[in-house]
Structure formats: structure tokens, C-alpha cells
Structure 1
Amino acid sequence: MSSNQNILVSVVVPCYNQAQYLDEALQSVLDQIYTNWECIIVNDDSPDQTEAIAKAWVEKDQRFSYLKQDNKGLSGARNFGISYAKGEYILPLDADDRIGIDYIDLAIKAFKEDTALKIVYSNAEKFGLENKTWNLRPFSLFNLAKSNVIFCSAVFKKEDWERVGGYDEHMRGGLEDWEFWIHILKFGGEVFKINKVCFFYRIKENSMIKDIPVDDKMELYRYVSIKHADFFVNQLGSFKEFMSHGLKENDELKVLVNSKKNALRVLLKPVTRFFKF
């Protein structure tokens, strides 16, 4: 049992058309070995059985609470739940995902050991239609500038959420967690990855990120690149520098491929001569 149980952690679970998975997500919260948590279930005006399921969990354990709002999208639902959170730390959990039993415990231990930390996450696995390790690229600000390398259910301080103004509610189409991590980290702070699988990401036929039309996704990328232009320039350099770097990498790759082909020809030459008719 953790010695840091005096720290309250708020798990925020937005739900829209995910009622069929909600029990599984909430059970993974109830199973935590770290017991000083609250779990705020946010019904984003879902047309399914979210309300009935959520209220049953509120009756089951007083650490669960239930909120409902007009539909505002994922960012709006997270912000609504976090605004009511009493915890010093926040863990967003989508209603179709799960967390491992020691995720909160290990995350709080990491924060206590390093006060410079802004974000703590872990190794992850995919489940559902796919069952395999989720091989996220190693965290660095450079890698974060190129794409999101931190899943949505990382742990962070509520004060950092307040500092950046929460999740951007203009980003209803997706990529809101990527923008949020950039906003928290671009002026400093450390990130820690727990070397254990503590997050389980459900793969389904339909998901918000997969269903974004290409044009809409490109517009979201443009929006983030303009909003955080300072961050992208600091990490990637100017557009010309970034393109030059990419072209250089491409040329180096071609040289490597050609050298491997030549090496393979040398190695296979005796064999091909042996089998030549």
C-alpha cells in the first residue's frame, strides 16, 4: 500500500455513446490499490444508458459522482468534470478504456519523487479488435512536436490544467490531448513514463480519431501549428530547416539501403556462382 494515500486523485470519465463499455472502465478505477481517489462520470448528453449505469456506480461507492451537461464534445466534457474535481492530480479516462490496478499508485510515487514532473504515463497495450503492445515513440519535445507520443490517460496536476485554460474546446474533432500536452510542456517541466503496462486502449470498428475526414484532420493540425507556433519553431526549426533535415535523412537512408544491397550482393556472390547453370 502506498504511503502517499493522503493525496486525492480525481479520475474524470467523460461518456458519450460508450455505455456498453462504461462498467469495465469504472471497475478498473474501483480496483485501484491506491484508494484515495474520486471518480467523476460526465454524461455529455449521451442518448444511450450512460445515466442509469453511472447512477448505479454512485450507489455502489460514494467515491463515484455523476454530472450531466449539454453535449460539448470530449474537451468540454473533460473540462466540466475537472472543474468539479477536488483532487490535486487529474487522470482522464475515456469510458471505453481501462487502467491497471497500480497505475494511480505508481504515478503518485513518481510525482512525489520528482517535483519537476508535469506528466506521468506508462507503457500501454491495445485490446479489443487488436491485442498487442502499443509501441509509443519515446518521449521528447522534438517527438511531441512531430506527433502525439502520450496517450490521453496520463496523470497531471490540476493546477497545470488551470494554468493553460484546460482542454481546447474548439478542437471537437480530435487531437485535443496532443494540443493539451504541448500547452502544458512547452514552457518547461519533465515527463516520466512508468516502465509497466498500466493503460489499456480499446480498439473498435469506429473511433473518433479514425472517423475524422482528412480535410478536417488537416485543419486541426493547422490550428495547433498556429496556436503553438513558438513551440514548433523551437523544436523543429523553421519550415525550411525542417524540410532540409527531412531531405538529408532521406538521402542518408538511400545511401544505407544501397550499401546494404551491395553488401548483400557480396555475401551472395559465392552462393549464386555455386548455383549458376
Structure 2
Amino acid sequence: MVVSVIVPCYNQGDFLDEALESVYNQIYTDWECIIVDDGSTDDTETIAQRWVSKDNRFKYFYKKNNGVSSARNFGIAKASGKYIQFLDSDDILDSRKMQLSIDKLKEDKSNELGIVVSNFNMLSSDSKEVLPPFCEMNEKSLTFENFLFHFFSIQLQCGFFDIKLFESIKFPENLSAQEDWIVWINLFKDNPKFVFIDLPLAFYRINPSGRMNTIGADDNQIKVLGSLREILTYDQYHKFSVGLLTRYYDSTKLFRNNLKAVKKSNTYQGGLMIKKGLNTFGVLKFVKQILKKALKFKAK
């Protein structure tokens, strides 16, 4: 059973070698690794071609930059395996990831199991430190309701998927972030049969130059709503919309209450008294000028 590992790449040459090495070191050996270079301008191609030369299970494809969703969809179209393992180019897999996932699939006698999800850990930028995951995950976490209504999301490399699932599910190419969350919702909306492995078999790197640190997750929330509208029923979308509006209302209310508390504080009131005093004696403008010059001096 061939496993197709899909690695979308965009200017992550500093970490790509380590990511591909984690594929090469897999205990399970019947795999192909599809490296999709999404228009990188660094040394991504050089690194990828080195692995292609070393092992013909690695396959390199270059395409014009169009985002990670486009790269993943491209990789799925090129895949010849029965199963899909996603891996971002700055992350790594435990050497047992594929084998343990395959073992779980073989244990299933119903042939209905299409998703295996494992736990994960965080990895420091320099790979020297392994840290706890950014969220607590267990079998009960993996429900459609939790993904949608509680905004639960995990890294795609935690999953191991039957490729047939992606005959009808595509990554939304109009999104610059949260595309993986949309896909998890889509995967679990029909309550599929899955297995959870409570072992950290994937490692998510804390990367200062990574996509989630350079693109705000809120940049495309309107587009996210559009993507949800395409995959949810009317009732599901309505319930989600009401919950989202309530959440925003509560956060706005909390902000207003905190602002009121600040304005009532002795520090704030003292500042107002000083401002009024300076204004009364005609020196407020002069103080502002002094502060501006001090800030400019500090910035040099």
C-alpha cells in the first residue's frame, strides 16, 4: 500500500532538508514523496533535487506561486498512493508515523476506516528542544462539533488519510490561512470512522518566518465564512454564525468593561489631572514637543 507524502514548499529551504530526511527515515518503506515547490526563490529546488538524486521515491514539481492550498491540491493530483500523509516543509515526522498508521488500518476488518490521527509535539526553530503541543488532544476532541463550534484545529501532518476522501474534498485556494481548519471540518462533517494514536508522531516547528507568523489568521475571515457556507447545511451554518456573532459581542463587551475599569483607575485619573494642570499653565504643547524629540532620539 503506497503512501503519498505531500510536501508543499515555499521559501523554507532552511528546514526542508530535515523535513525530507524524516520521510526518508520512515520504518515503513512503501512510499512516494511529492515535493511541490510553490514558486520558491531560495534554495528549495537545489535541496529537493538532491533528495531526488539520492532516492527515486522523491519526486519534485515546480509550479507558479499560488498558495499552500493550491500546492496541496496539486500534490494530491500527482499522488499515486492509496493513502495521503501531509507534511509542511518546516515540520518533521516521527520515523514510526506511517508504520503505526498502516498497522491501525490493517487492524480494521470493516474496511471503513479512512482516517488515523496521532498526537504531536512542538519543535524549536533550531530543532534542539521538543515542547508540549499547543493544544490538548484526545479521541473525544476529534468531532465535527468541536472543530466547527469550538474552533478546534490541529496540524494536518497529525492525520493519515485514505486518498479517496480527497476526491470530493479540496483545499480552498482562496484562503491564505485557516485552510486546514476548513478541511478538518469537511473531513469530519459526516462523522467518519477514525482511530486516534496517543503518541506524538508529528512535530510542529515554532518557525518565526513560517506562514502562520507572517499572515494574520484574521486577514481572510470573510472568505473563511464563504468556504464554510459551501460545505455546511443551512442549520449548521446558522448555528455557527450565531455562535460567532455572540463570541464577538462578548469580546467587545469585555473590552468595553475593561476600558471603563481603566478609566476609573487611580493611574488614569492621575494622568488626566496632570494633563489638565499642564494645559491650564499652557505648557502641554511644550511637553508634547519634548516627548516627540525624546522618542525620535531613542529610535535612532
Q: Write the letter of the residue equivalent to 2:136.
A: L
Paired with 1:50 and 1:177, the residues of 2 have a C-alpha distance of 23
How big is the alpha-carbon RMSD for the aligned residues of Structure 1 and Structure 2? 2.6
Deviations 1:75-128 (A, max 9, x none): 111111111111000111000000001100111112222333332121111011
Q: Write the letter of the residue equivalent to 1:136.
A: E
User: CA 1:64 to 1:189, structure 2 compared with 1: closer, same or farther past 3 Å?
Assistant: same
Kindly report which structure 2 residues correspond to 1:1-277, keeping only aligned pairs within 5 A, or say none: 7-114=1-108, 115-129=111-125, 131-134=130-133, 135-137=135-137, 138-145=141-148, 146-153=150-157, 154-164=159-169, 166-171=170-175, 173-213=176-216, 215-230=218-233, 233=236, 239=242
8 A Cα contact 1:121 1:150, kept in partner: no
Paired with 2:146 and 2:136, the residues of 1 have a C-alpha distance of 11
C-alpha displacement of 1:243: 5.3
Q: Write the letter of the residue equivalent to 1:233.
A: Q
User: CA 1:228 to 1:203, structure 2 compared with 1: closer, same or farther past 3 Å?
Assistant: same
Paired with 2:201 and 2:23, the residues of 1 have a C-alpha distance of 12
Unpaired runs of 5+ in structure 1?
Answer: 1-6, 248-277
Unpaired runs of 5+ in structure 2?
Answer: 251-300
> What is the SS of the residue equivalent to 2:164?
helix
C-alpha displacement of 1:235: 10
> What is the SS of the residue equivalent to 1:210?
helix
Percent of aligned positions with the same letter in both sequences?
37
C-alpha displacement of 1:214: 6.0
Paired with 2:230 and 2:192, the residues of 1 have a C-alpha distance of 20
Paired with 2:26 and 2:16, the residues of 1 have a C-alpha distance of 16
8 A Cα contact 2:119 2:202, kept in partner: yes
User: CA 1:235 to 1:187, structure 2 compared with 1: closer, same or farther past 3 Å?
Assistant: farther
> What is the SS of the residue equivalent to 2:233?
helix
Paired with 1:200 and 1:93, the residues of 2 have a C-alpha distance of 10
TM-score for the superposition, normalised by structure 2: 0.72
Q: Which of the two has higher C-alpha Rg?
A: 2
User: CA 1:237 to 1:179, structure 2 compared with 1: closer, same or farther past 3 Å?
Assistant: closer
C-alpha displacement of 1:183: 1.8
C-alpha displacement of 1:238: 7.6
